[in-house]
Amino acid sequence: MLFTSDTFIIFFAIVFVLYWFILNRNLRLQNLFLLVAGYVFYGWWDWRFLFLLIFSSANDFLLGKKIYNAKNTKVRKRWLMVSLFVNLGLLGLFKYFNFFTDSFTSLASKIGISVNWPTLHIILPVGLSFYTFQSLTYTIDIYKKKMEPTKDILIFFTFVGFFPQMVAGPIERARLFLPQFFLKRTFTYEMAKIGGRLILIGFFKKIVIADSLSILVNAVYNSPKSYTGFPTVVATIFFAFQIYCDFSGYSDIAIGTAKLLGFDLTTNFKMPYLSTSLTEFWHRWHISLSTWFRDYVYIPLGGNRTSNLKANFNIFITFVLSGFWHGANWTFIIWGAIHGFVLIVEKMLTIKGQKNENTFNKLISTLLSFIIVCFAWIFFRSNSLSDAFIIITKMFSDVNEYSNFLNMSLKFRGMGLQISDIFISLFFLCVLLTMELQYNNEKLRYALRSYRFLRWSVYYFLIISIVFSATKNPAGNFIYFQF
């Protein structure tokens, strides 16, 4: 059930009416209804995996109590290991089993050993990586004595199965999100305004921008041998914005939907491509995941409270694991390794206490950071390492074509695109940039607040763009659903 589908719109309309107009006087009934709605939403993908979600919820609810009631640290750690083993074991079985068997078989064949290990013909349950990490924050934080276990099984199950963010985040912390289920919720105009605006912006990002950019990106990356330098460069830059608009669009819709139900979710993106370094980029990109790895992997490894060599190793291994979390493919591992390596280099080059406020230097740093991020995206998007190296090779071949506009136009037509489609996509990217910059510009914010005509003109423009794009290009899956 995609957020951008007619089915979800009807589903959420029913949920909204029943939640606020029928069940609004009974908090427990509201929570029970949210749990049922979450299971309907998740079961719509594949009802068989609903049992996995229920098992995962029951497992951590019981283990949270076991950890809390343990009489000594040794027993507490033992129960935590059970939680980690079960959660990560399920993740490993469904997501990584075939990767390890295939990699081992390939390695064995290269040294002359014939191995025929079986592979599992199973599909990855949607959202498994997300709700597993969210559920783990519960048992880990109880172990760290940062929270006490909840006695309310209904609320815990609803916390794990909260449909707005269950399948692709934001990944919420149990100690911060669980308390919201105990609070009485009242519908307000401000809530409707904020939630509705976020949903509208999310639809615009996904349908108008991400799905439009995907046409060229998919054409090039699904057949990299068929294209030369310029299309591969454009496709890579377009993918950078496609994945941003796709994922941040999903997050906006999730946060907006939760807001309309009376919940506050974590902000997941803060204009990451305006970062002046990759360190800053990771404070702005997929914030709920990057902070999860910081708090539950990097810091437990020792963080930066150790030697420089060990601290650098901690950074590198954290980002390699972050890449591996995204998918069972060497392309994701390389993507994570690139980010880890660059962050280590930035750390080594940084002079403590020195800040350069020069505008020109900031622009150069922002551009350089964006180029590095785009280079890493090549591995993230490519179907295999060989495809990634083909893309990189193509970028530096036929450099003369970069100045041949007619030749470029013909190449795009060969992909089923007009050159005008490219300019339309660029126009909408400029619209998005303007919209996001207004959050940091008091004058623009004041103008939108003060002039109703201007504000509603923007809203109508977004709605018309969404309707037009939806009729032209059918909505595709969100990229992060595959993780």
- Asked whether 250 and 186 are in contact (CB, 8 A), the reply is no
- Asked whether 475 and 4 are in contact (CB, 8 A), the reply is yes
- Asked whether 297 and 319 are in contact (CB, 8 A), the reply is no
Q: Three-class SS of residue 126?
A: coil
**∠ CA 367-371-376 to the nearest 5 degrees?**
150
Longest dimension (CA), the chain: 75
Work out the end-to-end distance of the chain between its first and last CA atoms, rounded to an integer number of angstroms: 16
Token pair of 34, please? Answer: 């949210």
C-alpha distances in Å from residue 243, one per residue of 246, 250, 251: 5, 10, 12
Q: Is the dihedral of CA 458, 461, 467, 469 positive or negative?
A: negative
Tokens 């969404």 correspond to what residue?
466
Token pair of 39, please? Answer: 């299971």
Q: Is residue 339 annotated as part of the catalytic site, yes or no?
A: no
Q: Which of 121, 283, 286, 326 is catalytic?
A: 326
- Asked whether 113 and 467 are in contact (CB, 8 A), the reply is no
Distance (Å, whole) CA 133 – CA 376:
24
CA 357 to chain CA centroid, Å, is 31
Token pair of 129, please? Answer: 């990586």
Active-site residue set: 326
